[in-house]
């Protein structure tokens, strides 16, 4: 990949992207949800400063991602395909709800014995197996429930692997360089100053790869975003998957806000995780496969 591959009319592209965002109802919906979440956190005594700063960084780098890439071609669904695509959306949302329930149990929002028939015993079996084989309950349960089962079900429902984030990428190297350069410099500094050991850093990468990273990227970007993009505009697909991604972390929101109630928990994940989901969605949309968002997801989580 050479320097000539980078688009030259950056100023015009920024202006065009800004105009598109201002005209997009999806942008205004996301902004309204984000502001409401911010107010919810402030009103319940939670400090949103960190989430606001990090969110601003995510949005800045998302804009830069759009500048150094080209938009993917629109692939609207033919009328005969729409029912099939809605079925795939419904199946994807089913797995999102089921795995969100696992998160609520993990974060002690619901009691461990509040089981979903068939699903909860199956997940418990996978967790025991993961604990026995890898010493971590999630190392088998998450890949199976986030990717293996949804992937098989979507294929049976008519999806093709190339449609689910496994197609050819676009400027993946440039986008990885943009997003990973500063974190890698941070990691190098932490290693050189003794704040972090190579073993601990490798452990972070492995842990985040085995528990989230690619697995979450497939479920939300590879499965949900691509299905929605065929049914709606790219902007609506981006925003909806980001909000769903944020709400999916509700259990984490309870933990981060001290289990002080639904409102602050939901505000917490919509102001932080939804923005991350939006950024990862932009990366996926502009690079056209799961490689870049998966690696960047692991890097961001490994920063702690």
pTM of the full structure: 0.94
Residue 35, H or E segment: helix 25-43
At 20, is the pLDDT very low, low, confident or very high (cuts 50, 70, 90)?
A: confident
Q: Shortest CA distance to 63 belongs to which of 282, 220, 225, 274?
A: 282
d(CA 97, CA 86): 16
Q: Examine the pLDDT at 45 and tell me if it is beyond 60.
A: yes
- Is the Cβ–Cβ distance between 277 and 58 less than 8 Å? no
What DSSP assignment string belongs to 212-262? SHHHHHIIIIIIIIHHHHHHS-HHHHHHHHHHHHHHHTHHHHHHHTTT--H
Q: Examine the pLDDT at 10 and tell me if it is beyond 80.
A: no
DSSP 145: I
Among 78-82, 117-121, 265-269, the least confident range:
78-82
Average pLDDT over residues 190-197: 95
Among 111-115, 187-191, 271-275, the least confident range:
111-115
Q: Examine the pLDDT at 1 and tell me if it is beyond 90.
A: no
Q: Examine the pLDDT at 225 and tell me if it is beyond 70.
A: yes
At 79, is the pLDDT very low, low, confident or very high (cuts 50, 70, 90)?
A: confident
Among 76-80, 152-156, 201-205, 289-293, the least confident range:
76-80
User: Higher model confidence: residue 290 or residue 80?
Assistant: 290
Collapsed DSSP state (helix, strand, coil) of residue 108: coil
CA 77 to chain centre: 24
What residue ranges do the domains of the chain occupy? Answer: 9-302
List, for residues 237-270, the tens digit of each pLDDT value: 999 999 999 999 999 999 999 999 999 999 999 9
Note the pLDDT of residue 19: 79
Average pLDDT over residues 149-178: 96
Note the pLDDT of residue 7: 47
Query: CA torsion angle for 298, 301, 280, 110 (degrees, to 10)?
Result: 120
What DSSP assignment string belongs to 44-64? TT---HHHHHHHHHHHHHHHH
């Amino acid at each position: 990949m050479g320097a000539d591959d980078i688009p030259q009319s950056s100023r015009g592209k920024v202006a065009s992207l800004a105009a598109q965002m201002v005209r997009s109802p999806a942008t205004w919906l996301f902004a309204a949800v984000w502001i409401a979440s911010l107010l919810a956190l402030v009103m319940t005594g939670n400090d949103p400063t960190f989430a606001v700063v990090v969110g601003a960084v995510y949005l800045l780098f998302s804009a830069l991602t759009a500048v150094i890439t080209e938009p993917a071609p629109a692939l609207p669904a033919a009328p005969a395909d729409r029912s099939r695509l809605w079925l795939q959306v419904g199946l994807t949302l089913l797995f999102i709800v089921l795995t969100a329930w696992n998160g609520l149990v993990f974060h002690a929002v619901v009691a461990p014995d509040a089981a979903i028939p068939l699903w909860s015993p199956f997940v418990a079996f996978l967790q025991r197996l993961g604990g026995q084989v890898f010493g971590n309950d999630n190392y088998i349960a998450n890949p199976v429930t986030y990717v293996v089962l949804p992937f098989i079900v979507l294929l049976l429902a008519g999806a093709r692997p190339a449609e689910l984030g496994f197609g050819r990428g676009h400027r993946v190297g440039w986008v990885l360089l943009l997003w990973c350069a500063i974190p890698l410099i941070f990691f190098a500094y932490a290693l050189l100053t003794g704040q972090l050991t190579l073993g601990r850093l490798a452990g972070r990468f492995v842990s985040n790869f085995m528990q989230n990273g690619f697995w979450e990227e497939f479920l939300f970007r590879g499965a949900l975003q691509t299905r929605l993009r065929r049914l709606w505009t790219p902007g609506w697909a981006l925003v909806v998957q980001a909000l769903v991604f944020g709400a999916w972390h509700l259990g984490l929101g309870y933990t981060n806000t001290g289990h002080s109630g639904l409102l602050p928990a939901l505000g917490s994940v919509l102001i932080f995780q939804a923005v991350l989901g939006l950024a990862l969605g932009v990366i996926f949309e502009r690079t056209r496969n799961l490689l870049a968002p998966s690696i960047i997801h692991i890097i961001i989580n490994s920063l702690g």
